[in-house]
Each structure stands twice: as structure tokens, then as C-alpha cells.
Amino acid sequence: MIPRINVHSSMGGFGHPLIQLTDAFELANANAAVEALALTAVDYNPLARLIDLHQTAQHSKPGAGQALAILQQIHHDSRLNRAFASPGVQNTSIILRSETNRKVMLGYIESLDFSDTAEEAAESDLHELTKVAVLLLCTVSRHSKSLAEMQRRHKFDFYLTHQLTFCWSLRVLVPYFPKSARSRLFRSEWLLMVLAYLHQQLPCIKPDILEQTPLLEASFGTEWHRLRDTALGSTKDRGYDPHFVKVLRTLWEFSRIWREDEQMFLEAAVRFECEFDGWTGYGKEGEEKMDVAT
């Protein structure tokens, strides 16, 4: 069991304390664990107050595509102010200062019910959030439908990609938390996912892009083997980027957990590996942007 920590403080830096604690568990590294726990002690995020708000709206279980449907509703919601000069976490304060934006966002966050803490429910909830995280990773760019387009590399949105990493942290750590903390952990990820989607300018999610991904090898096994070799032995601009390696590894791990969706995870990994040319989404001038067409 994980020592008693403030679950709300694990949200600091968009979930970095929880992600570092995951690394500590997987590497059996006590120093990394101490650093992660220290972060939870000093990095309280005011957003955590939103997790404990009483759910007043009608809500449903996350399964059956509900999370994706909600993000697509957000994309088309005319009540939201989209007047951001550029994407980036700096837009968070703009979103929360607007009473309309804040109210609309909370309504969508409340739309999913994570109160069932049973093992089967937690597995289903995480599966749903992970599939949405994969779509945010790979289907919000401006192009990349054919193999030729895939070979034209582009940058991936860091804050949207970060949602996949948070999902992996939940997969590793949730079994070690008491059941009473599970709903807050999943609600935290959903809050960060919705907020990231908002402050990154509500890009258009196009699930069909994954289905059009051409696999480069004859079988799933050989394709994963090729991707592993790429992650471990690629050139400096890619293989030396820890987030590049982490994404490929995380997709592979999820493919082993949910075999029924292995093709989706593999298609995402192939597309990510072929197209990756660094990161964007920090709000810097001249950055490459995602497809935010309505």
C-alpha cells in the first residue's frame, strides 16, 4: 500500500508527482520515490478543489465511448471562448477566470461518474480513458492519412500526449491505493484531460485516421519488434528524447493488457514513430499547431 499522501497534490505539474512515483515503482528506485512524495508535499494544485465538488449534473459511466463523445461535444460547444492566441498551459487561467468557461467545463467534468471503485469498474474506466488518450496523441494533427504523408514528420502536442502517460501511472499505481482514493484519481485524470483539451485550443479528434494507418511489417509481433529496435537504437533527435521512448513503450504495454485493442495501440505506435519530429503545444511563438478546424 502506498503511504498516506494527498491525492490532490499528485496533480501538480499536470500529474508529475504521480508519474514520477510510477517511475520509482517500476525501477524500484527509493530516491525517485522520495522525490515524488516530496513533490506531493509542496506542490498542491488549486485545481484539486474541483475534484471534490458535488456532482449535480446528470452523469453516466465512462464506458461505451462516453469520454470521447464528451470531448467531441466540447469541440462543438459555441459557449466556450476559443480566443487563445496560441495553445499552452498558460491558457488555464484564462479558462478559469471566465465564469462561462468555468461553468461549462465543470458541467462536462461532472458528466462522467467514477464513483464505482470495484476492480472491474476501475479497469473499464481506465480502458476508456486510455483509448481517448491515444486519440489525443495521434489523431489531432493537420494531415497524415497516407503512408507518404506519415513520412512527412511533424510535432506532437506535449500536453495532449501527457494524458497517455498519466493513464499509465494510474494503471501501475491504482492497485496500491486504497479503494476510497480511486474515484478521485480517475476524476483527476478526467479533469486534466478536459482542461488540456481546452487550453490546447480544442483540436479536432479524427478517430478514422488510426484506422487508415498502414502497418509496415507482416505481423503484429514483427511490427512491435521493429518499433522496439527503433526506440532503443534511433538517432539522437528521437532516441535520446525520453518522452519519445516512453510513448512507444506505454503503447506496447497497453497492447499486452488489452489484447482486443492491440491493433489500435499498434497503429498509434507506428504512426507516432513515423511522424515524430519533436514536441509542440507550449504556447511559444511560431509553434506548429494542431488541427482546430470546426
Task: Tell me the pLDDT tens digit for each residue of 156-214.
Answer: 999 999 999 999 999 999 988 888 888 888 988 999 999 999 999 999 999 988 888 88
Residue 150: per-residue pLDDT? 57
Considering 93-107, 120-134, 174-188, the range whose residues carry the highest mean pLDDT is 120-134
Q: What is the mean pLDDT of residues 253-261?
A: 96
The grid coordinates of residue 278 equal: 519533436
Residue 67: per-residue pLDDT? 94
- Report d(CA 5, CA 62) in Å as an integer: 26
Hey, where are the domains in the chain?
Answer: 50-204, 213-278
Q: What is the mean pLDDT of residues 242-261?
A: 94
- Mean pLDDT for all residues in the chain: 84
Residue 71: per-residue pLDDT? 95
Residue 149: per-residue pLDDT? 56
Q: What is the mean pLDDT of residues 234-240?
A: 58
Between 259 and 60, name the one with better pLDDT.
Answer: 259
pTM of this prediction?
Answer: 0.90
131-to-23, 103, 137, 139, 265 alpha-carbon distances in Å: 22, 26, 10, 12, 9
* Among 31, 28, 51, 36, residue whose Cα is nearest residue 195: 51
Query: Which residue in this structure is represented by grid cell 476508456?
Result: 128
Residue 117 above 60 pLDDT? yes
Q: What percent of the chain has pLDDT over 70?
A: 84
Residue 266 above 70 pLDDT? yes
Residue 27: per-residue pLDDT? 92
Amino acid occupying residue 20: Q
Residue 289: per-residue pLDDT? 83
- Report d(CA 59, CA 55) in Å as an integer: 8
Residues near 245 by beta carbon (within 8 Å), at least 6 away in sequence = 231, 232, 239
Amino acid occupying residue 64: A
**235: pLDDT confidence band, cut at 50, 70 and 90?**
low
The grid coordinates of residue 99 equal: 465564469
Residue 146: per-residue pLDDT? 54
Q: What percent of the chain has pLDDT over 90?
A: 39
Residue 11's CB is within 10 A of a number of other CB atoms, namely: 28
Residues near 80 by beta carbon (within 8 Å), at least 6 away in sequence = 74, 100, 101, 104, 198, 202
Residue 128: per-residue pLDDT? 94
Residues near 209 by beta carbon (within 8 Å), at least 6 away in sequence = 138, 139, 144, 145, 271
Q: Using one digit for the tens of pLDDT, what is the confidence trace for 26-75?
A: 999 999 999 988 888 877 666 767 776 655 555 666 666 899 999 999 99
